[in-house]
């Protein structure tokens, strides 16, 4: 780092002292700082004060409430269990939706034939029995929608945190 034209050498030394602790210095800056600290008592004192303050912070003890670690572990464990349960629910939902569509696609030829047969037997216009076939496609969607709503209400009643996460969306 090169000093600016108007930059005070002592200000540069203070910045380099701070940078040395946080992000490190280039060899050129480290060399300049060492030379400056050897020649300038004021900046050497500032560097010593910075080092003493950092040493005091490293040795300072912080008292924590009893049971804080156990409480934090319990919270983390509960959240992990909640995430596992949520993952299992999501997997079950994806499997259910996939099965619903696979069964719907696999049964489409049979449903078409049944709708055509009912249309012919009951002498219904083609539009009516084709609409019946189209309606059949909404049955799996409607069933899965109802299952999702039912499960969501159940999950909300089991886990109060679940409901609060959804309210903000």
Residue stretches of the chain with pLDDT short of 50: 1, 3-6, 163-169
Mean pLDDT of the chain: 84
pLDDT of residue 161: 55
Find the helix or strand (DSSP H, E) in which 9 lies.
helix 9-22
pLDDT of residue 74: 93
pLDDT of residue 168: 45
Find the helix or strand (DSSP H, E) in which 126 lies.
helix 126-158
CB atoms inside a 10 Å sphere around CB 116: 16
Note the pLDDT tens digit of each residue in 131-142: 989 888 787 778
The set of residues, in sequence order, having a beta carbon less than 8 Å from that of 93 and lying 6+ positions away, is 148, 151
């Amino acid at each position: 780092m090169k000093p600016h034209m108007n930059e005070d050498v002592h200000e540069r030394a203070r910045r380099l002292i701070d940078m040395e602790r946080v992000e490190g210095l280039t060899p050129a800056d480290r060399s300049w700082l060492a030379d400056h600290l050897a020649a300038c008592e004021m900046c050497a004192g500032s560097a010593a004060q910075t080092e003493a303050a950092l040493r005091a912070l490293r040795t300072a003890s912080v008292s924590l409430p009893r049971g804080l670690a156990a409480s934090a572990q319990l919270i983390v464990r509960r959240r992990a269990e909640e995430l596992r349960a949520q993952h299992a629910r999501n997997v079950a939902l994806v499997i259910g939706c996939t099965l619903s569509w696979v069964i719907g696609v696999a049964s489409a030829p049979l449903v078409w034939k049944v709708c055509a047969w009912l249309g012919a037997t009951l002498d219904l216009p083609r539009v009516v029995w084709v609409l019946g076939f189209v309606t059949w496609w909404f049955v799996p969607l409607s069933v899965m929608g109802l299952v999702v709503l039912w499960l969501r209400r159940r999950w909300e009643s089991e886990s109060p945190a679940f409901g609060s996460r959804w309210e903000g969306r």
